[in-house]
Amino acid sequence: MKGQIKFYKMERGYGFITGEDCKDYFFHFKEIMNKEFLSKDDLVEFKPDSNEKGLVAKEIFKRE
């Protein structure tokens, strides 16, 4: 799925991505592939998933 970084608190290691489905997905820095630097409004691709707390993003790649 494609999306855009809505919020990323690098020092805490988490953030949110707004997916192309207009839903917000929580992510943890460990899901960023290649450990690329991400910031607000960056375009990304990710695998949507869910857990007991809600929607999550996995295997996140920065789009060029």
Model confidence pLDDT, tens digit, residues 24-52? 999 999 999 987 789 999 999 999 999 99
What's the pLDDT score for residue 34?
Answer: 83
Model confidence pLDDT, tens digit, residues 4-14? 999 999 899 99
Amino acid (one-letter) located at 2: K
Instruction: Grade residue 21 by pLDDT with cuts at 50, 70 and 90.
Output: very high
What's the pTM value of the predicted model, to 2 decimals?
0.92
Q: What CATH number should be reported for the domain holding residue 16?
A: 2.40.50.140
Domain that holds residue 33: 2-62
Domains: count for the chain: 1
Those residues whose C-beta lies under 8 Å from the C-beta of residue 3, and which sit 6 or more positions away, are: 17, 18, 19, 20, 25, 43, 44, 45, 46, 57
pLDDT at 19 over 90: yes
Q: Give the C-alpha separation, 42 to 49, whole Å.
A: 20
Model confidence pLDDT, tens digit, residues 51-62? 999 999 999 999
